[in-house]
Structures are given as C-alpha cells and as structure tokens.
Structure 1
Amino acid sequence: MDTQRIGRRIAYWRDRRRMTQADLGALMGKSRRFVQSLESGERQADPRLSVLESAARALSIPVTSLLADAPGTQCIDGVELDAIRTALLRHDMLTGTADESAVEPLPVEVLERRLVHARVAFQAGHFASLGRLVPELLIDANRAAARHTGEAQLGAFRYLSLTLELTEGAAVKYGDVDLALMSGHRAVAAAERSQDPVIMASAARHLADAMTMHGQTHAAAAFAVAAAGRLESDLRARGADGLSVLGMLYLKAAMAEATAAASDDTRAAASARAVPDLLDQADGHAEELGADGNAVWTAFGPTNTKLYRVAAHVQLSEGADAVAVAQGIPNPARAALPKERRAHLLGDLARGLTQAGQREEAVDTLLDAEREAEEEVRCRPRTRALVEDLRLLGAGQAEGRLRALAARCGLPE
C-alpha cells in the first residue's frame, strides 16, 4: 500500500473540505499530530483499513477515493453542493439582511476579483473548484450588499447577482434542478436591486435556463422574451455588454421552445415553429455585434449562435441537421471559444451523431470533448447518460475506446 499516495489523498480531501488537521483529527478521535503523520505517509508502513475508513467517514467520501490507483477527475460532490445550498438558505441570504459577523464587508473591487476568478474557472471547465469558491463568495457578496450604501451597494448587488448566476450554471452542469431554480430566482431579485439593465438581462437568461431545466418551458420562453422586450432600449445603449445579453435572452428562449417541442405537450408543434424565429433574432444581434466576444461571460457572437442551433437541432432529434451546422463552424472560430463552450459543442455534436446513426464518430467526438474539458464529459449527468446510451446501442470499432471512457466516467461495467 502506497502510504505517501494515500496521505496525499487525505490531505487533498481535507483541504477540499476546508478542514484543519486538528479538525480531521477530532472527527477521527485522534490528535492533530496523528493526522499530520498520516498525511506525510509516516504513520505506519501499512495503515490499517479501519484508519482509512475512519478518515473517509470524516471526509464524507468513499474509502475507494483514498485507495484508487489514479486520482481521476474530481467533480463537485454532494457535500459541496450541500454547502452551496446551506449558504443560500442562511437567514441573511434569504432576507437580504446583514449577518451578525463583525467582519467588515469586502470592497466591491475585491468581490469583482474573486468573481472573475470563479467565472474564469467555470469557462475553463474547472467546475469542481466552484464547490469551494461559491459558498464563501455568496456570503461575502450578500454581506456587502446589506452593509454598503450608495454606489458601492449597487455594485455589491451586481456581484451578488452574478455569483448567483454562477451558482445556477454549476447546478445545471450537475443536474441539480432545484438548486438551479432557487439560484436563478435569487439572481433576478439581486439584479433588480443593482439597477443595472445588463445585469437584469444576464440574470433573466440564467433563470430562463433553470426554468427550462425544471420543466417550465413555456414560462421560460415567455420570461426571456418579455425581459428582452422590457430591457432592449437600455441594452442597446450599453454596447457589446448590452447586445450580448440581449442576444442570449433569445437563445435561451429558443432552447426553451425546443425543449417544449420535444415533449408531448399539446403546444409542441407551435413551439417547434417558434425556434427558428428566436434563433434568427439572436443571429441579428450577433451580426450587430459584429464579432465573437465574451462580454458578461456570455461568449456571445456569431459562433455561439451556431452552437445554439446545433443544440436546438439535437433537442428536436434532428441529428443530421445538427451535424451539418457543427461542421460549418470554422475551426479558428471554434478554437477561440472558452473551453467550456468548445466541450459543450462537442457534447451536443456527439449526441447529434448518435441520432444520425454515426456512433463510432460520436465516441471519438466525446473523446475530443474530454480533451477540451474533462469535467464536462466525466462529471456532467447529461453527457454521462450519452455514454450509457452508446454502450447500449453499440459503437462498432469504437467499443474499446467507449469502455475506457465509461470507466473514466465512473460508470459501472
């Protein structure tokens, strides 16, 4: 048994759980010195399984996480999602009031730097880090919004809303519908307090996404379109930021309608007819913008609108059409997108290829997505479900590559 490797794993998970060595020792009924020796690999040549089980229990992980030969991809786990949810359910967060902490509220500039760090991690496909970053950022942003005054308070509400959006985005990635919806609603409320139309529109597009995921597809589309109509004149005056979030509202409305069209809803046919018009609206704003960009972390522009066309075709089970649109995206334009967007496109393309019966190509496309942002493939329930579907359908000469991918996703044989 490699005691040093196991010790490093214990130290990794202890740090991820934000515990001190003394904290972990107390939970194990041991001293800080005991944990220090365990983490350094000096405790004993062959640590007893009972010791590892005790450490795993204190860290809320399976003991196999300490014994596995390779560390694998680290995804947000249930403990970290619970920490985010606990932060959202605090009294001060629910009421928007100041907590009882004697800690001074962070300056708006500090909130901005920390938010940028978290958003960059998200767009790089490093979702697991959000489990550690988001709870503290939520509490600090809410404290600042409650205690600051004047322009500083408006800025704090801006960053509180953007942090709640990020929370919604992480919840969508991990399939936590209720957390996504709760975060989306809170983001809209904070955005209204910011008095900033760009932030209002940004929050609205995230809530529309969460509503769609929650099955409220018609309400999601109507909400996004209403927000666009209400805010359009103000957004047009805000340049790239305004046009980007305006265009994203139409893209989210299109996806809501595509999701409704894929259901057995009595209005499915009408929803299907609405999708092309909404995508065309977004295309128009992208043409106005004139180039791809990443204003307000939207990655909005002509290329991203094509990504949403691919996603809409996939949602409508029009796999061949999705493949055709994806193949028409120039490689340089795709390469300029954030990693998360590139991996997301490849995941949608893999699903479109599966629908079109090109399952070997679908497997290889998923492997390309994994190389771009492995958490998008190995951690996201939606993509893991596609891996399972391909295993059931068969992937021809790609079977070996598919089995290896399924193992990296932690799927049972």
Structure 2
Amino acid sequence: MAFTLRWGIIATGGISTKFAEDLLVNPATRNSDVAHKIAAVGSRSVASAQKFIDRLYSDPSPNQWGEDGWNAWALQNGVLDGAKACGSYSEVFADPNVDAVYIGTPHTVHHANAKAALLAGKHVLCEKPFTFDLEELEELIAIAKENKLFLMEAVWTRFQPIAYAVQDLLTSGRLGKVKRMTADFSMNYDPDIRPDSNRMIDPEQGGGSLLDQGPYPSVWAMLALHEHPSNTDEHPRVVASYQRIYERSGVDAASTWVVSWKDFADATLVTDMTASGYDDACVVITCEDADLAIAYPPWRPESFTIVPHSKYEPGSIREREVHKFPATTPGGGMYYEADEVARCIRDGKTESGRMPLKESIITQRWLDDVRKAGGTVLKNRKSTVGN
C-alpha cells in the first residue's frame, strides 16, 4: 500500500480549495507512489470549515471530468472519510490524526500560523511568499530544524512537468549559453474597483504586486539561472529596483528588480497588478542560439516555444518549436508539490531537494530588498518575530 499523508488544511479560500481538490485525484493518474488524506480543515468557524468539506464531496462539473466526476476515486477510497471541521487553526494543529499542515492563509500571517503548527509538532507546507520578511523565515527554519520537522514553501510551479522540461532544455546545451532573462507576472487586477479591504489593496494584508505576485517571476529565475550548472554564484542579489506606488493605499502597483549572478547572467523581474500580462511570453530566456519563451500564466504555463533569433542575428536554430504541457484536474497540478511533501516525510527528510530552504531564503531576501528600497507603506514594516 502506498504511503498516505494525512493533511490538515487551514484557511478555506481559493488557493486552499485548489490544493484540496488536487489531493482527491487518483495518484495512479500521475504514476505517484504516495497518496493523501484530508484529516482536518480549519477556518474561523466550524460552519465555514464544514462548507469547505461538503464542497469537496460534491462534483460541480461532472460533464467535464467524466461520468463519475473528478472526485470519484477519492470518495471510493476514503480520502475525505472522517475529515474534521474545525472552528480554529489551533484545533487542526492539535489533531493527532494530522501529519502535515497546509497553510493557505494571507502571507502576513504565514509566520504566526507556521510557527504554531511547527511548535505543535506538525510538518508544514506554507504558501508563498513564505513569510513577510527574512527574519520571520529564519525563525521558522530554526524551529523546524530543532524539532526535526519538514518545512517547505509551496512553490507548486517548481514541481510541474514543464518546469523540469525547461531546465532539461537549458542544461542540454542545445540553445547554447544562457545570456539573460526576463520574467513578468502582470495581471489587470483593476484595483480601482476593489474595496479597501481587498487583499491586493490593503497594507495590513501585505497588499500590492510585489509580495503577492513576486514569487512567480522569482521561481523562473531560480529554475533557469540559479540552478543552471554553469552558475557558481550562490548568493545572487538585487542590483537595482523600482516600485510604482498605488496612491490610494500606499502599496506597490508594480515592481521591477534586476538580479545578478556574478560571471553568469542577469534577470529582470516584473510584477504589475494594473496591466495585463503578455500571453505568448511571460518569461523569455535569451540564449546564444535561440530564445526560450514561456507562455502566460507564470504560475502554470501550458507551453513554451523555442524561438529562433532574428535573421540578422547569429544562431544555429532556424525552426520555431512549440512544446505543450496541458493543465489537468481541478487544481491544475498542485498534487505534484503535495507528493513531494509526502515522499520527503515518508523518507525522513526535513526539507525538499527540489525546493530547498536555502533557495526560499534567497528569494525572500530579494523581496525584502525591493520592498525596503521602495517607497510603499510596507517599507519599514516590522516582522512578527518575538510576538
């Protein structure tokens, strides 16, 4: 029988819903050697948590997913059996039937929630950005290590098949040396029509484009440049940055920063909540013999294209190639990161080799550097360490 990880899920918003839905998908459909069970769900009320669980029992689109529906395997195999609706997060952390906690709360409370879970003896998968600042992250890592618990940032993009394929292509040498890259996560969020309480607008919720959107251009920079075998710089830093202020609340409407890997390559990273992203290429990696363009959206792209250089430029590749990786299942493939957590815990590991804590530290430092150099109301906000 496959190893089964028992999950506690805290918060019942959209990201937690997608994660939970993907836990219900038959592992055999992805040739996985681990499985999942939802043991408890925590919300601000028992009713809210129960509504979340009830929705997982229903099938909102049976025609799309087949006669039996997308959750048929889960219902037949007890993935939701005994799932407990909890009116507080602490009740989830205290549940002896919970092995690992998925944290899908707003990022300004990631530190407090993850700390409470770790101190309760639970393994933790925490949504991105890991914490508000580096000081908070370093405290979580220290607690996890002291208690020999697994801890990982939920950068699900890293575990998708397209991410591995992009890295394989770049390291194969077929495109020649990597020169530079751009990664842009823009979306026309239309903030002017949103209420002051909206998470993208409200400073108290860590609003703005940088913290909400910034992990996605960052992950592509890490995959394409930092993990490239030609890179020898273990401490890439932000060398320039700019933030455009959303005057209504003082958060950033857009942020741009440049990261440099010494003696290798640079990345220009962009977030913007006021403009649409470019559909054909939210990531462009410029190489000697051709460009690699990854289609929008950066969180779950479904294709990349090898684009020959202009006829005026050198390059050995002259034919355009499109490589497709269609998204499937309700959550789009969040089960890949869940499987990684399960395997690591099964094997007694306290962190993932694919999403190591040292790389979360690097990208968290980037976000800190950009925020502290900008002029938003979050520039000097203090961490919750010690609270």
TM-score clears 0.5: no
Normalising to structure 2: TM-score of the pair?
0.27
Q: Which has the higher contact order (CA 8 A, sep 6+)?
A: 2
Structure ranking higher in strand proportion: 2
Choose 1 or 2 for highest CA Rg.
1
Structure holding more helix per residue: 1
TM-score, normalised with respect to structure 1: 0.25
